[in-house]
């Protein structure tokens, strides 16, 4: 989309029921759709059928370094390769409105394959407060997209990325939460192939309640490494 051009939103009342309703939204610029969304809404209902996964056991955010602190630590190393230095400086220059504390930050000095899993403590910067829950859901949608698809690249760090973009992004909201409070973001990629990657994520509240589940598929194109002669 073009941030300088107004967006026209077309909303279709796909279904309106007693407990569940569905709305389809199309965002249009220059006469063409740039975004489509299908949102489902449910009245709050109690059920005895309840279960969830167990939140991973990780150090609390107070014991971990922020992403900015980790980057500064890496940049102070005189042995850091120039390409990594440029990449880290680029990340540092981004104005990201999220506080991030990686639980197991990847080793920038190693290009070997890693398990396609990541754990972050995340929260919105600043104070949002006890406002409408829909505001916190919108902020969580922004948070959930950050570094999400990159999880699928961890086993393939020897390749240079040419192009990477999300194809679709789905979210399911399970319990109330505060997007400006620390939440654990658990990301994993069960599959990649055919220039696509699939990632799944779970946002946990600090008290162990599963608040949000996410899934995303994206395009991943890498530079092909030329075959070297063995002669």
Structure confidence at residue 231 (pLDDT): 44
Output the DSSP codes for 59-117. Answer: --GGGS--HHHHHHHHHT-TT--HHHHHHHHHHHHS---EEEEESS---TT--S---SE
Per-residue CA distances from 183 to 2, 40, 69, 161, 216 (Å): 31, 24, 19, 29, 19
Least confident of 18-32, 97-111, 127-141, 178-192: 97-111
Please, which residues have CB within 8 angstroms of residue 47's CB and are 6 or more apart in sequence?
Answer: none
Structure confidence at residue 113 (pLDDT): 87
Instruction: Return the closest-CA partner of residue 75 out of 109, 98, 30.
Output: 109
Structure confidence at residue 16 (pLDDT): 97
Count CB-CB contacts under 10 A for residue 204. Answer: 24
CB 50 within 8 A of CB 171: no
The model's pLDDT over 40-70, given as tens digits with 9 standing for 90+, comes to 999 999 999 999 999 999 999 999 999 889 8
* Rg over CA atoms, the chain: 20
Structure confidence at residue 95 (pLDDT): 76
Structure confidence at residue 230 (pLDDT): 43
Model confidence at 76, pLDDT cuts 50, 70, 90, reads confident
Least confident of 75-89, 125-139, 151-165, 172-186: 75-89
Per-residue CA distances from 135 to 26, 106, 128, 138, 217 (Å): 20, 32, 9, 5, 25
Instruction: Return the closest-CA partner of residue 126 out of 146, 95, 99, 93.
Output: 99
pTM score > 0.75 for this model?
A: yes
* Residue 157 predicted with pLDDT over 90: no
Structure confidence at residue 86 (pLDDT): 78
Count CB-CB contacts under 10 A for residue 56. Answer: 13
Structure confidence at residue 110 (pLDDT): 63
DSSP state of 134: H
Least confident of 73-77, 104-108, 117-121: 104-108
Domain ranges of the chain: 1-43, 98-222
Structure confidence at residue 107 (pLDDT): 67
Regarding the domain delimited by 98-222, which CATH topology (the fold level of the hierarchy) does it fall under? Thiol Ester Dehydrase; Chain A (3.10.129)
* Mean pLDDT over the full length of the chain: 91
The model's pLDDT over 1-20, given as tens digits with 9 standing for 90+, comes to 899 999 999 999 999 999 99
Structure confidence at residue 56 (pLDDT): 97
Q: What are phi and psi of 84, to 5 degrees?
A: -70, -35
Instruction: Return the closest-CA partner of residue 149 out of 196, 112, 108, 113.
Output: 196
DSSP state of 48: S
Q: 98-222: same fold as 1-43?
A: yes
In the chain, % of residues over pLDDT 90: 74
H-helix or E-strand spanning residue 135: helix 133-145
Catalytic positions are 145, 166, 216
H-helix or E-strand spanning residue 140: helix 133-145
Structure confidence at residue 109 (pLDDT): 56
The answer regarding whether domain 1-43 maps to CATH 1.10.3720.10 reads no
């Amino acid at each position: 989309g073009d941030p300088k051009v107004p967006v026209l939103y077309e909303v279709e009342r796909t279904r309106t029921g007693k407990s569940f309703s569905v709305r389809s939204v199309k965002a249009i610029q220059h006469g063409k759709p740039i975004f489509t969304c299908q949102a489902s809404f449910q009245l709050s209902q109690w059920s005895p059928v309840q279960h969830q996964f167990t939140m991973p056991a990780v150090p609390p955010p107070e014991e971990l370094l922020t992403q900015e602190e980790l980057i500064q630590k890496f940049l102070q190393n005189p042995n850091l390769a120039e390409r990594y230095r440029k990449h880290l400086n680029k990340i540092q220059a981004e104005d990201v409105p999220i506080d991030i504390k990686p639980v197991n930050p990847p080793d920038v000095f190693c290009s070997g394959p890693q398990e396609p899993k990541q754990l972050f403590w995340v929260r919105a910067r600043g104070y949002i407060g006890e406002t409408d829950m829909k505001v916190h859901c919108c902020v969580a949608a922004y948070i959930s997209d950050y570094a999400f698809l990159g999880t699928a690249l961890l086993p393939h760090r020897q390749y240079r990325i040419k192009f990477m973009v999300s194809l679709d992004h789905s979210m399911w909201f399970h319990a109330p939460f505060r997007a400006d409070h620390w939440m654990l973001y658990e990301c994993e990629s069960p599959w990649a192939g055919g220039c696509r990657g699939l990632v799944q994520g779970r946002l946990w509240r600090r008290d162990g309640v599963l608040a949000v589940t996410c899934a995303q598929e994206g395009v991943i194109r890498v530079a092909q490494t030329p075959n070297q002669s063995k002669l």
